[in-house]
Every structure is written in structure tokens, then in C-alpha cells.
A and B are shown apart, each in its own frame.
Chain A
Amino acid sequence: MNDMREFANTIRKSSLLMTHRAQASHIGSALSIADIIAVLYGRALKIDPMQPYMQSRDRFILSKGHACVAVYAALAARGFFDANRLEDFAQDHSDMMAHISHKVAGVEFSTGSLGHGLPFGTGKALAAKKRLENWRVLVLLSDGELGEGSNWEAMMFAAHHRLDNLLAIIDYNKLQSLTTIDKTLRLEPLAEKALAFGWAVREVDGHDHQGLLRLLEHGPWEAGKPSFLIAHTIKGKGVSFMENKVEWHYKSPSSEQVAQALKELICA
């Protein structure tokens, strides 16, 4: 598993540098999903950087589009585009938006407004079923995003249509924009909610690469049911002074903070 750990580290470093250079927000969100993204782009997704739009590929959709630096970093590291392009992130005239953009090679769908990824992914999954194609659709959502009703519309729909080629991953770091999930719109009991909607549900430590790989590499977990993975994560994971701090949803790290963060990652 060393390769995925190294990959996750690369994603974290690139995300920090991009966010710092652009003076952008949402580094805490990107660090939260870095391990999930590393497992997906490192091993679990059936993708080919040389053929980014091959018909048989798995489709990955980042519904929490504000964490895009993690995906851009992974795509660059996998060779979907030159890593120098990462320097364009959120710069004047760049198409590397600070919410994920489908103008970037390897990105399926632009998001930014929450609650769009799962319905869109549901449409892709339905299309695959209708055409008897066996690729999968994986959608990564934030926990706060589940406040959007469109997600629950899509969950009803996907279960009704038995879309077992659809997998939703919840980045459950328990923090949303202003404070904790618990103090904002309580999600618990989340697993029971998803079960009641007719999904197959699993929970995992969202920073445990082996655990993630076991659940993400193959699907469906239960025939005829879409899969709902609750990944317990830590916002800002990997950088001690960012972990579990709401402010890193907004702040961009200073030069000194980036240096400190990179030092921690090298030592990790």
C-alpha cells in the first residue's frame, strides 16, 4: 500500500501549493478527501490517462466541487495532463476553476453548487444499465451537502431503478461551513437513513487505504442496490493545525504555514 500512501501525500502537497498560490479556500475539504481520491485514482477506478474518455471507463463525479484541488492533483499525477498546468489553478484566464471544471481533461462534470453530482451520476448509471454496459459511476459528496433535497430525490430514484452500478461516497468529516453537522442539520442516523432509502450501506475509516480499496474496487456490494459508503474522515487531515478546524474551509495558507504543512507531510 506504500504507493497509495505516497500518492495521497502528493495530492496533499499539490493541494496545499495550489491553494496557497491562488490564495484560494477549501484546503480543509481537499485534505479530507485526499486518501479517498488516492485510492480511487490510484487503484479503484477503471480509467486510462491515455484515453480519458474511453467508453468503458468508470465515471467519477466530485459533487463537492470546492475540493477540486485534490482531483486536479490526482489527474496530473496520473498523467491526464502536464503537472505544470496545476500552476494555472484559479489564475486569470485559466479554465482550472476553483470548483471542479469539466474543461480539465479527465473531469466528467463541473460542480460547485451542491446537490448536483448525485442526480447527474444517476442519469449516467441509468444510461449504462439501459445500454447493458458494465462501467460504474462513483460520486463523492460532502456530509453538509446532504442538506440538499436533490440528493434524497436521487437516492429514491436510484434505489427504485435498482442502479447497482452507482456508488455514493460520503466524506463524513462532521464539519460544515459554519460549525459541526450536529449543530447545523443533524444527519444521524445516516446509515439507517440510507438503508431505509433502499441502498446497500457500508462504513469505513476514510483515511484507511486498505479499507477503502476493499469497498471501492469492486461493486455492487449487493445486487440490485446502489451502494452508499460513509467514509469517516477528518477535515484538514494530515496537517496538524488544520485538522478539525472550521476556519480551513475558508483560509488559504501563508508561506510559513505551507512550509510547516509540507514538513509535516514529509515526516508522515
Chain B
Amino acid sequence: MRNAFIDELVQLARKHTHIALVVGDLGFSVIEPFADEFPDRFVNAGVAEQNMTGFAAGMASEGYHVFTYSIANFPTFRCAEQIRNDVDYHKLPVTVVAVGGGLAYGPLGYSHHAVQDYALMRTMPNMLIAAPGDPFEVRACIRYLIENPGPSYLRLGKAGEAVVHPNIPEVAPGRWLTIAGERGSPRALLSTGAALGYALNFYERRANCDCAVFSLPLWGMRSKSIQPTMAYAFDEIVTLEDHLVDGGFGSWLTESLVTTERSPRVRPIALAAEVCGTVGTQLTLNRLGGLDFINPASQV
């Protein structure tokens, strides 16, 4: 995903001279293509995320679309108030890019885990969350964000995620992308972000699961209202996310459907509500947290 991100951003920056990339002293061996080609629109803010986000908002107020880039927890929680007050409340085109969403940096310990970021971002009224499930969704999301400038949060995995789509899909806030399965299935497996791999794994391992798989890469407070339409045809929706259930994607969908007359049952599969006190690979920590790649059937 990281490579798709920088490649797409470079391509778009050739056409759009208002795109700027600001990094928080991170991105070694990732961001160089942008920095080398557009040195005048690249800034390393140093280890200072509050200032990074504040000055990104200032640049955005002067016509730039600024992407702030760092490891998941740094450009989010460290500068949450700058994101809320300066970016979101002023409706400025700043895209906070978090690389290593979920437990992608598992071995680095809980300071580097991002399992509450959806909860933070989705309470900001103007914020659009972009959580792509594969590299093609990354490209689709970035294109959407550039064409529809505003406050946004782009949550990337790390590297090596499987390619799911055959090409770049059409994306829009709140719209589910069909990944696998038959129309008319009573059950939906709906994932956001890198949890798409888990949804597909379950689908492929469970023949006759009577379900269809969907990915939702763009969502937020503003796209809650169309969820009843998206969910209408299903009896049950199983959501998958590498985030805590509290304040997460499944909670968002549940809230979106709570006022509908005929509301399908929502069963969120998310990480356990515990502080992850151990280290390990993403796979290991997800499994410890209850997001089982090997046998999701036991949970569903």
C-alpha cells in the first residue's frame, strides 16, 4: 500500500501543482520519489507533529492540498486537537496519512499500534476516512480525495498487502464495493482497510457460506445516512476491522442503522479491548486480539 500511495501521489502531483507532501521525519525508502521530483512541495517537518499539522492547515488555507505522513499514531493522536480545530473545523484540504494502520508495526510495541484511530477520526464531522483494502483501493481513494478536497484521513497498511481488485475501482463515500459472492446472499462480510484480507479468507475457506464480501474504503460521519440503503438487503452483516470495537467501524455501521425500521443484525469482528502488552507480527497480534486469519469461521 505504501508504494501504491507514493506512486499515485507522484502521478497526481505532476498534474496538480497544489499537492504538497509533509512528513514527520519518517518515510525512509518510501517518500523519495515525491521528494526528489517535487522538492518545492516536499517538507520534512521534523519530529514535531503539532506544528506539522498546524502548518499543513496554514498551507491548505492558501490553496495547497497537503498530505501529512507518518507512522499511524504520530500524525493522529499526538496532534488530535490540530486535526480537529485547525483542519476539520476549518474544512481545509489536509489529508492525514497514517502508515501502519492497526497492528502493522506489531513488533515495535503498543506506542506504534494504531487501533483507536478510527474512533478519533470518525467523531470529526467533516472528516472523511479513507481505509483502502488493497493497492488499487489506495489509488482510487487518493484520486477521490484530490477531486473532492476536504479534511481526510488515509489509513494505509504497511507493505505487501494482496491485490484484490483487477483494476482501480470507482469509490464514493459510504458505497460498498462488491468483492466476492452472489447477489441475494443473506449475509454480508463488510470490511474496511486491511481487514479485507480476513473477509476474503473467510469467504474462500467456507464453501457455501451464503455470504458476499464487500469492502468500504471511504466512510465517515457524513456517509452514515446512506448505510440503511446499502444494508437493506441483508439479514446479517459481519464487519471486520483491525481496530478496537469501541468507536470503530462496526460501531459506526451499527449507529448508522439504529434508526432504520428493518435493521439487519450487525456483528462486529474487531480487536479485543485490551492494551496489547506483547509484541509480535501483525498476524500474531491480530490473532491474539481475536482477529483470526487462520480460522475466522470460529468467530462468525
**B-contacting residues of A (Cβ < 8 Å)?**
102, 108-113, 115-116, 118-128, 130-131, 149-150, 153-154, 156-157
A123/B55 contact (C-beta < 8 A), A109-B90, A110-B85, A116-B86 known: yes
> A123 CA to B68 CA in the complex, in Å?
13
State which of A102, A120, A130, A156 has its C-beta within 8 Å of the C-beta of B54. Answer: A120
Does B85 lie within 8 Å of A116, measured CB to CB? yes
> A212 CA to B193 CA in the complex, in Å?
54
* CB neighbours of A102 from chain B (8 A): 90
User: Which one of B6-14, B57-65, B179-187, B278-286 contacts A?
Assistant: B57-65
* CB neighbours of A149 from chain B (8 A): 50
A123/B46 contact (C-beta < 8 A), A116-B85, A153-B51 known: no
A124/B50 contact (C-beta < 8 A), A110-B85, A110-B90 known: no
Does B89 lie within 8 Å of A110, measured CB to CB? yes
* CB neighbours of B50 from chain A (8 A): 115, 119, 149-150, 153
Does B64 lie within 8 Å of A122, measured CB to CB? no
State which of B51, B53, B58, B89 has its C-beta within 8 Å of the C-beta of A124. Answer: B58
* CB neighbours of A125 from chain B (8 A): 58
> A122 CA to B86 CA in the complex, in Å?
13
State which of A115, A121, A126, A156 has its C-beta within 8 Å of the C-beta of B46. Answer: A156
State which of A110, A112, A131, A154 has its C-beta within 8 Å of the C-beta of B55. Answer: A154
A127/B63 contact (C-beta < 8 A), A109-B90, A120-B58, A122-B51 known: yes
* CB neighbours of B60 from chain A (8 A): 123
B56 at the interface (CB under 8 A from A): yes
> A130 CA to B59 CA in the complex, in Å?
10
SS of B interface (majority): helix
Does B48 lie within 8 Å of A126, measured CB to CB? no
> A74 CA to B63 CA in the complex, in Å?
27
Residues of B6-46 whose CB lies within 8 A of A: 40-41, 43, 45-46
Give the Cβ gap from B199 to chain A, nearest Cβ, in Å. Answer: 39
* Most chain A CB within a 10 A radius of its CB, from B43, B54, B90: B54
Does B54 lie within 8 Å of A123, measured CB to CB? yes
Residues of B134-148 whose CB lies within 8 A of A: none
B81 at the interface (CB under 8 A from A): yes
B82 at the interface (CB under 8 A from A): yes
A119/B40 contact (C-beta < 8 A), A124-B62, A128-B62, A156-B48 known: no
* Most chain A CB within a 10 A radius of its CB, from B48, B51, B53: B51
Kindly list the 9 A-B residue pairs having the minimum CB-CB distance in the complex, ordered from nearest: A123-B58, A119-B54, A123-B55, A153-B51, A127-B62, A153-B48, A150-B50, A120-B58, A123-B59
Q: Residue of B at shortest CB range from A149?
A: B50
> A256 CA to B32 CA in the complex, in Å?
66
A154/B54 contact (C-beta < 8 A), A102-B90, A109-B90 known: yes
Interface string of B54-92 (1 = CB under 8 A from A): 111111111110000000000000000110011001100
